[in-house]
Amino acid sequence: MRISVIGAGSFGTALAKLVAENGHDTLIWSHSEDTAKVIEEHHENSIYLKEIKLPEKIHATTDFEKAAKFAELLISATPTQAIREVYTLNDRHRMLNAPIVVASKGIEKKSHMLVCDIFTDVFGGAKKKNLFFLSGPSFAREIALKMPTAITIAGYDVTHLPEIQKVFHNEYFRAYATEDVLGVELGGALKNVMAIATGIADGLKLGSNTRAAIITRGLAEIARLGEKLGAKPITFMGLAGMGDLVLTCTGDLSRNRTVGLKLGQGMTLKAIQSEMRMVAEGVPTTESAYELAAKLNVDMPITAAVYKVLYENMPAKDAIKELMGRSIKFE
């Protein structure tokens, strides 16, 4: 199968390596001439996935139309806030007829749309049966190093899920399937908010008890919003819920936990972002989740605390104090 990967960041590159090693001809599209050139000439993404050799059958381009025509399957791995621009620029979405597996996680600013809703909005409802969403505990570097990984792929059309699973599935990458697109999308988006929260606590050196409390109560918040929106509660107990939450809240490779860690250590958000080459999706997602929770009247105190630290300049210690000072209640 011919597969185009839209987005040459660390995760897009890792997925390209994975499917290429599974025997598929693979083309990576990058908006950056430098990144595409390095991949094409040196078979390495030295900017986003250093010291990982890529298969010879991977090629790269900055020509979107070429990538669209090449694809029998498309993997989309662009930052959430860039999705709409990438696919609507010059009516690019009209060039695409192949099934799309989406690996982005987050909530769009202003519209409060999940990634699945952005794609449906851009491509139209008729495309839904060809949209699939990959999520779960999966750091790009560990995938690229062939460390055993298990993820979930959600789709509106369950009849085509098995063939999509087979594209990714191998001896070190296990792909489960579900029809709960909404639950998978919410878990993937909101775990980044909770990772910032646990990072803040770790930066303040508050210990393992605090981290466990944030992860557990964070999952409760995610489930509350999911229930309000119609997701299946069981999804949040799986790989795209608890699995991804635990990984992102505890792993040293987590960009969102790193943001929180530095906030807890006293750095400003502006200074942190100026140091980061890659996008921490939890920062814009926190704003969207906070606004969405308020709109739907869903109690999300950890999300609110992270929002205040990021957008209202509340000191991290005060945010923790405010969380702990809330009125007592049943779990």
191 tagged catalytic:
yes
Are the CB atoms for 55 and 17 separated by under 8 Å? yes
Task: Spot the catalytic one: 105, 128, 146, 191.
Answer: 191
Residues ≥6 apart with Cβ < 8 Å to 211: 198, 201, 202, 249, 250
Pick from 139, 163, 143: nearest CA to 153: 163
Q: Tokens in use for 56?
A: 């010879």
Q: Rounded distance, CA 260 to CA 194, Å?
A: 9
- Cα–Cα distance list, 263 to 227, 258, 259 (Å): 31, 9, 6
Q: Which amino acid is at 241?
A: G
Q: Rounded distance, CA 191 to CA 197, Å?
A: 10
Residue 129 DSSP one-character state: G
Q: Rounded distance, CA 51 to CA 188, Å?
A: 27
Residues ≥6 apart with Cβ < 8 Å to 90: 64
Are the CB atoms for 223 and 236 separated by under 8 Å? yes
Q: Rounded distance, CA 35 to CA 76, Å?
A: 17
Q: Tokens in use for 330?
A: 């049943």
Strands lying side by side in the sheet with 173-178: 58-61, 25-29, 2-6, 73-76, 100-102, 131-135, 149-155, 173-178
β-bridge partners, 154: 133, 178
Give kind and range of the element (H or E) at residue 11. Answer: helix 10-21
Q: Rounded distance, CA 190 to CA 228, Å?
A: 14
Instruction: Return the active site residues.
Output: 191
